[in-house]
Amino acid sequence: MFFGCNKTAEKQNSVPQEKQNENYKIIGYAAGYEDYDFSKIDATKLTHINFAFANIVDGKAKFELETDKAKIATLISLKKQNPTLKVLYSVGGWVWSDQFSTMAAFDNSRIKFAESCVNLLIEHGFDGVDLDWEYPGQRGEDNPFRPSDKDNFTLLLAEIRKALDDEGKKNNSHYLLTIATGSDDTYIEQTDLGEAHKYLDFINVMCYDFYQGWYYQTGHHANLYPSERDADNVNSGVDAMERHLEAGVPADKLVMGIPFYGRQWKKVSSTEDGLNEHSQEGGYIVSYKELKERIAKGKYKEMYDESAKASYLWSESDSTFVSWETSKDIQLKTAFIKENGFGGAMFWEYSLDKDQELLNTLFKGLK
């Protein structure tokens, strides 16, 4: 294993020589509920696009928004820019994961759902299905959950894989099946990724939201390494990727998640720089685009935690702290991905970038 221990310095210095991979994935989520023109997406810098989200309605995968059909057609048309582009649709997400546990608990409902996934894929011309169950064995947004979710999740993936393969035999095609995973110990404990990955083409590890809306304390939400200033050592990108490796997932199947947004805390109790301080509000999402506009107005002081390799912003005048992702952070993460032979990078979400600044850095680093 390439990390070995929890000391930041040792983790930073223990990576092996770069492992060559000519097929790094760059996977961008495109949120159908955002007010964004999908025709503006630069498909030449992406290998995969995941359209988010489909819901689970009456046990079947289904698109719920009136604008979904038109937006999906636009995404599929991006293959004219990039003929090798793969377009998938993602089921679930934070809001629409409430039906997973019950659906996955029974053989007949798993089969019904798997068949609906294939039907939806064929209807719109997708190349695969991505499941974003947040989270097996955990409450998430007050969702039902069961101890049996751990085994049922693997059974569900096996059923979908079978249905996709059966359909693929009809036209000599391989349809993709992927998942987005949590980054912490609890997610690993409540799943069996060593078995589940056998049915998957790759896994998108959500290496962000380490500090988020439930935390009334500021902190880095997507730091690459543990921060020496964080006594609780909440999480880090290297920790998240290591957990997945130890769970039995091959490195080349692991895709590192990167946020195109920051987390903002207001009313922070601090007289220094706001990092790891108490706040009267949780960490709310702010797009990279909006943060760049605020910085241009001189609103924030740009800061950097060298131990964590993480950028942050501080406004003393209104006691606001922001953990955010910059091109500098992405450069370090793409180097980390290449050094360790991972499968590539995923990001949430395309419309949150500003003038493709973060995407261009990601593309340059991996391609």
Domain ranges within the chain, ordered by starting residue: 8-259+325-366
**Residue 349 confidence (pLDDT) above 60:** yes
SS3 53: strand
- Report the distance separating Cα 155 and Cα 178, nearest Å: 14
pLDDT on residue 233:
77
Residue 107 burial class via C-beta count within 10 angstroms: exposed 0-12, middle 13-18, buried 19 and up: exposed
pLDDT on residue 5:
35
**Residue 3 confidence (pLDDT) above 50:** no
pLDDT, one tens digit per residue, over 44-68 is 999 999 999 999 999 999 999 999 9
Architecture of domain 8-259+325-366: Alpha-Beta Barrel (3.20)
Active site includes 134? yes
pLDDT on residue 254:
98
Structure tokens at 244: 């997945």
Q: What are phi and psi of 88, to 5 degrees?
A: -115, 165
Identified catalytic residue from 34, 123, 134, 246: 134
pLDDT on residue 15:
39
What is the mean pLDDT of the segment spanning 191-202?
98
Helices 288-296 and 357-366: crossing angle in degrees, nearest 10, is 120
Contacts of 16 (CB under 8 A, 6+ apart): 2, 339, 340
DSSP 19: P
pLDDT, one tens digit per residue, over 232-290 is 877 999 999 999 999 999 999 999 999 999 999 999 998 789 999 999 988 999 999 99
Any idea what the Cα angle at residue 324 is, between residues 142 and 184, rounded to 5°?
45
pLDDT on residue 160:
99
What is the mean pLDDT of the segment spanning 287-297?
96
pLDDT on residue 214:
86
pLDDT on residue 212:
92
Taking Cα atoms as reference points, which of 93, 55, 54 lies closest to residue 71?
54
pLDDT on residue 10:
46
Confidence of residue 342 (pLDDT cuts 50, 70, 90): very high
CB 56 within 8 A of CB 96: yes
| Cα atoms in the 13 Å half-sphere on the side-chain side of 43 | 19
**Residue 8 confidence (pLDDT) above 70:** no
pLDDT on residue 14:
41
**Residue 142 confidence (pLDDT) above 50:** yes
pLDDT on residue 21:
56
